[in-house]
Amino acid sequence: MTSERPHRPHAIVGSGAAVGVLGGLIGLGGAEFRLPLLIGLFGFGALEAVILNKAMSLVVVAVALPLRMWSVPLAAVAERWDIIATLAAGSLAGAWFGAGWATKIKSRTLYRVLAVLLVGIAVVLVAGHGARATGQPLLQGAALAAVGVCAGFGIGVVAALMGVAGGELLIPTIVLLFGADMKLAGSLALAVSLPTMIVAFARYSQDASFAVVRAQRRFIVLMALGSLAGVFAGSLLLGVIPTVVLLPLLAIILLASAVKVWRHG
């Protein structure tokens, strides 16, 4: 059932901005922080929250990708088409599978899956954010392609289930597995995320719960605008808060959110 709770515009925009700031502080969109708010604060059901989160993530990524061309030229991104193709080969299939699974499992199970994934994201945030590029891929040839496709599939499943872009998983994968530098990895992650999210969105559109997108169009626009403003503000504050303090704090927020989402189920 679509949440009938009235939502005040300033609460929607403010929540989106807060989420965007948190994401911007670590160079991500912040969708992993938005999901618990959609469930706990705004009262949407698990599947509806995932679909709404996916819709807003799609808007944020669609805007962020061309904007990043100012710092990372399109030619530099296109030069590493092999990374995009390898990860996308798995992530597109993973997104379709993940979205299909989410529409079929019981709501209580989905809440708990989301809670576990939030814990996983918290761990990756702390352990993987300090990844450093070696300049060389971890593997070579067919082995690299196989591992890349499998990694992409897993990331696609997680991104579809949570309604996120998957940058928190894609960036360390691109850095550690393919040896790309962090700045380029951010743009490559967006290039993989956009088609992956479109596939998941298309799969969700076949389910009756997708009606929440039409019913909550105003909500989506307001929160997406807030998120975009927040990401911009957060990016300006990047480095102001020491990473050694910021990452554990954000991980604690995700862990607390995971507990709430689990209990909500």
pLDDT tens digits for 144-172?
999 999 999 999 999 999 999 998 899 99
**Would you say residue 237 has pLDDT above 90?**
no
In angstroms, the CA 209 to CA 65 distance is 28
Provide the H-helix boundaries in 68-140: 74-79, 81-104, 107-128
Percent of the chain with pLDDT over 70: 95
Per-residue pLDDT of 167-215, as tens digits, reads 889 999 999 999 998 889 989 999 999 999 999 999 999 999 999 999 9
How many Cβ atoms from other residues are within 10 Å of residue 5's Cβ? 9
- The alpha carbon dihedral of 137, 141, 147, 150 has a sign of positive
Banded pLDDT at 67 (limits 50, 70, 90): confident
**Would you say residue 3 has pLDDT above 60?**
no
Mean pLDDT for all residues in the chain? 90
HSE-up of residue 212 (Cα within 13 Å, Cβ side): 26
To the nearest 10°, report the CA torsion of 89, 95, 97, 101. 170
pTM of the model: 0.91
The domain spans of the chain are 9-264
Phi, psi of 26 (to 5 degrees): -115, 10
CA distances from 210 to 34, 76, 164, 185, 201 (A): 18, 37, 16, 32, 9
Which regions of the chain does DSSP assign to beta strands (E)? Answer: none
pLDDT on residue 88: 98
In angstroms, the CA 70 to CA 141 distance is 32
In angstroms, the CA 181 to CA 265 distance is 40
pLDDT on residue 1: 44
Per-residue pLDDT of 238-255, as tens digits, reads 667 787 788 888 899 999
